[in-house]
Amino acid sequence: MAKTRRAYKGAPVSTTTTSPIASSGTTTFGISDYTGWPYGADPYSVVVEPGTANEEKILVVRAGATDTTVSVFSTPSVAANRGYDDTTAVAHNSGATVYPVFTATDADEANELASTLTTKGDIMVHDATSFARRSIGSDDQVLIADAAQSTGMKWGSVDTAQLAAGAVETATIADGNVTTAKLADDAVTSAKLAAGAVDTTELADAAVETAKIADNAVTLAKIDSSYTGTLPGGVKYYAKRTTDLALSGTEANVFSSNVTMESDRLYKISATGRFDGSNVRYEHSSNPDTNLDSSQYRLHIYVAGSEIGMGGTQVFADSVEEQVTIFAYTTGNSGSVNVTIKASAAGSGTGDLLCTASRPAYVIVEDIGAA
């Protein structure tokens, strides 16, 4: 049967009843003295007329410390708690001897609890009626609630379906707990990684090597234009432009970024772009092949605010496209150094720096070697 927590006191007095107790139907009776008797919500056993033919044990409760009224415990029923502990419910006259007693039922439940656990790792559980032993599970298993089990639980492994969304995150994983030895081959794929989840700070030195990179997996399109580390071939910085830039006599920025440099290294800065001469004007209509005005197109290289290189072309005919490529060298710069590429148009006409996805403008900063 289900177990009930019972109350005990060390020195309850033997007293007498102040009201009769019928063989059935009586729910309360009075006592002359309550000194040392338990009280509260937990029940306890009393014996009435001990040592006589009418001896009966009853499971009772007494609400308050000074109450002289004792109630028959009603769980599971009053009738079930009369004739308790292998006695029989009988009638008792007022004035019958009564006092709290420790019963065989109390001792049996304590022994049941003590004898249930037998083996290392056992835990105490309860089924619908009594104590039960749950033996230890296998290594790395956890207790899982399972209504289909007689004790409502079982040992098992936790799979992804049993984890609430967001239950496991980086803050709940101790440093070093997830190692490569704990990951199945190919368990982590790019589809399982959030965008930006793995950056250079999370990669151990030399962790990424050529043997781990698929052929053609790394392309210029996959390299961040703001990257300032050393790229293959000594490239320190790379960027491209795919949108047109309208030009006039004022220099306009094509690219601008900070690049990490060392003062004892030599760097080559290259830039290339395609110019459009659609707005060139003819000044001499009587002789269109001579004395034509022109537009001059130029690319400029600036390092730390100073121009270190300039080159361009001069267009003499309408709608002529010209490709301009320039480069310059620099050294003696240290730390985060600004590199800016500018473009300009001068002369009688104007035009655009033409930049498309198939024919973009580029800038490359290369580490050539020791200066």
67-85: pLDDT as tens digits? 999 999 999 999 999 999 9
Give the C-alpha separation, 9 to 102, whole Å.
Answer: 10
Highest-confidence segment of 129-133, 191-195, 353-357: 353-357
Q: What pLDDT does 322 receive?
A: 82
Other C-beta atoms closer than 10 Å to the C-beta of 18 total 15
Question: What are the backbone angles phi and psi of residue 238, rounded to the nearest 5°?
Answer: -145, 140
* CA–CA separation, 343 and 352 (whole Å): 9
The mean pLDDT value for 137-164 works out to: 88
pLDDT at 30: 98
Tell me how far apart the alpha carbons of residues 211 and 241 are, in angstroms, rounded to a whole number. 32
Residue 267 and residue 261: Cα distance in Å, rounded?
A: 8
Over residues 9-15, the mean pLDDT reads 95
Strands (E), 75-157: 97-100, 123-126, 131-134, 142-145, 153-156
3-state helix, strand, coil in the chain (%, to 5): 10, 35, 55
Report the alpha-carbon distance of residue 131 to residue 112 in Å, rounded. Answer: 8
As given in the structure block, the two tokens for residue 218 are 């790394």
Q: How many residues does the chain have?
A: 371
SS3 285: coil
Q: What values do phi and psi take at 15, rounded to 5? A: -135, -165
- Residue 222's SS3 state is helix
CATH 2.60.120.40 is right for the domain spanning 232-370: yes
Domain ranges of the chain: 1-102, 232-370
pLDDT in tens, 288-300: 554 455 667 889 9
Global confidence as pTM: 0.42
Which has the higher per-residue pLDDT, 224 or 310?
Answer: 310
The first and second tokens of residue 225, run together, are 């234009």
| pLDDT exceeds cutoff 70 at 350 | no
Average pLDDT (26-40) is 97
Q: How far is the C-alpha of 318 from the C-alpha of 320, rounded, in Å?
A: 6
Identity (one letter) of the amino acid at 366? Answer: E
Mean pLDDT over 195-221 rounds to: 72
The whole-chain average pLDDT of the chain stands at: 85
284 pLDDT band (50/70/90 cuts)?
Answer: very low
Residue 242 has pLDDT above 90, yes or no: yes
For residues 301-340, one letter each, b for 16 or more C-beta atoms within 10 angstroms of the residue's C-beta and e for the rest, the string is: bbbeeeeebeebbebeeeeeebebebebebeebeeebebb
- Decide: 120 and 136 in contact? Cβ < 8 Å: yes
DSSP 82: S
pLDDT at 211: 74
Quick one: pLDDT at residue 178?
80
Q: Please list the residues that pair with 273 across neighbouring strands.
A: 324
pLDDT in tens, 82-133: 999 999 999 999 999 999 999 999 998 888 888 888 899 999 898 888 888 8
Taking alpha carbons only, the member of 63, 52, 65, 60 closest to residue 97 is 52
- 23 CA to centre of own chain: 65
**Is the predicted pLDDT of residue 217 greater than 90, yes or no?**
no
Pick from 165-169, 248-252, 318-322: least confident: 318-322
Asked if residue 196 has pLDDT above 90, the reply is no
What is the b/e burial string over 183-192, where b = at least 16 CB atoms within 10 angstroms of the residue's CB? eeeeeeeeee
